[in-house]
Amino acid sequence: MKHLLSAGDLDRAQAVTILDTAAAMAATQERQIKKLPTLRGRTVVNLFFEDSTRTRISFETAAKRLSADVINFSAKGSSVSKGESLKDTAQTLQAMGADAVVIRHHASGAPHRLAHAGWTAGAVVNAGDGTHQHPTQALLDAYTLRRHLVGLRGGTDPVGHDLAGLHVAIVGDVLHSRVARSNVQLLHTLGARVTLVAPPTLVPVGVESWTADVSYHLDDVLDQGPDAVMMLRVQRERMGGGGFFPSPWEYTRGYGLDARRLARLPEHAIVMHPGPMNRGLEISADAADADRSVVVEQVANGVAVRMAVLYLVLAGQEQPTVDGQIGASA
């Protein structure tokens, strides 16, 4: 795997390899000394043109746990504010010897451009581009689902590596959500069934071609007994003048997860949210903090998943061990 640009680029074997590698990484993080020498001498640049808490910090933590040198670049306070282009920024970082660039950008397709325009020789990992893709979020969500629910529906994989038969409801602002797009693709690849639930105004044009069912009625979908409910953030910053729903109160009434709706779920069902949460809008405080909520665990799993991704894009072809030096086996 040279780059990770889209969840749709992963076939089942590649996705399972990443999830299995993440499990191996997570096991190393139980130890007293968490740092591995695996990426010693490699440089990872975190190139963030859009705000982030979880993704930026977990990529930084992941790279450091693998002993890589890390350069954190935020567009705010950089020469981007003087008008410097993505190309010139990328070439500047390349001159500093980046082996991998982790990029978040407000423009859909920016990571693809970076990977294929020859502006960097390193691996490119998409940390979220516009409304397009957020593949490592989908991977950490799949990892979290696997830890809680695999085998529940008697999937076809005897060692429980896929999510076959699971039903995941993805609820809310699908229109603006790169998390939803990546999750629909990856969950389908891993054998799960997805239902998207949103008001008609927040369902993307062309959704018929997605590998998911669509419903406008949250209570009906909850009554189907989904194994997981993934709430999406209402992305007000992408809504311009608004008009996507009559009022926050009416959105919450139709599509918010609260204690009353939690009670409709099967006992085993988990509640997910990629964060940051709009408490009181798409999710109530008691749903966000419920025992069945795995929101904080999703963040923790993000470190192991991002360690796995960095390891596989930077060291995968050199057959190192998780514990070992890159090239030790060469």
Identify which of residues 161 and 273 has a Cβ nearer to ligand CP in the complex: 273
| Closer of 168 and 222 to ligand CP (Cβ) | 168
Q: Give 304 or 326: the residue with its C-beta nearer to ligand CP.
A: 304
Which distant-in-sequence residues (6+ apart) come within 8 Å of 148 by Cβ?
228, 270, 294
Smallest gap from residue 254 Cβ to ligand CP (A): 24
Supply the minimum distance, in Å, between the C-beta of residue 160 and ligand CP.
26
Shortest gap between Cβ of 141 and ligand CP (angstroms)? 10
Phi, psi of 44 (to 5 degrees): -110, 125
Measured from the CB atom, the residue of 5 and 164 that comes closer to ligand CP is 5
**Side chain identity, residue 310:** L
Least distance (Å) between residue 283 CB and ligand CP: 14
Report the residue number, 55 or 89, with the smaller CB distance to ligand CP. Answer: 55
**Sequence-distant (≥ 6) Cβ neighbours of residue 272 within 8 angstroms:** 141, 144, 145, 228, 229, 230, 231, 293, 294, 295, 298
- Of the pair 199, 274, the CB lying nearest ligand CP is at 274
Which SS3 state, helix, strand or coil, does residue 62 take?
helix
Q: How far is the CB of 273 from ligand CP (least distance, A)?
A: 9
**Which residue ranges make up the site for ligand CP (CB under 6 A)?**
52-55, 128, 137, 274-276
Backbone angles phi, psi at 163, to 5 degrees: -110, 30
In angstroms, rounded to a whole number, what is the distance separating the alpha carbons of residues 326 and 39? Answer: 6
Closest distance to ligand CP from the beta carbon of 54 (Å):
4
The angle formed by the CA atoms of residues 163, 190 and 202, to the nearest 5 degrees, is 95
For 183, residues 6+ apart whose C-beta sits below 8 A from its C-beta are 7, 137, 138, 141, 168, 170, 194, 230
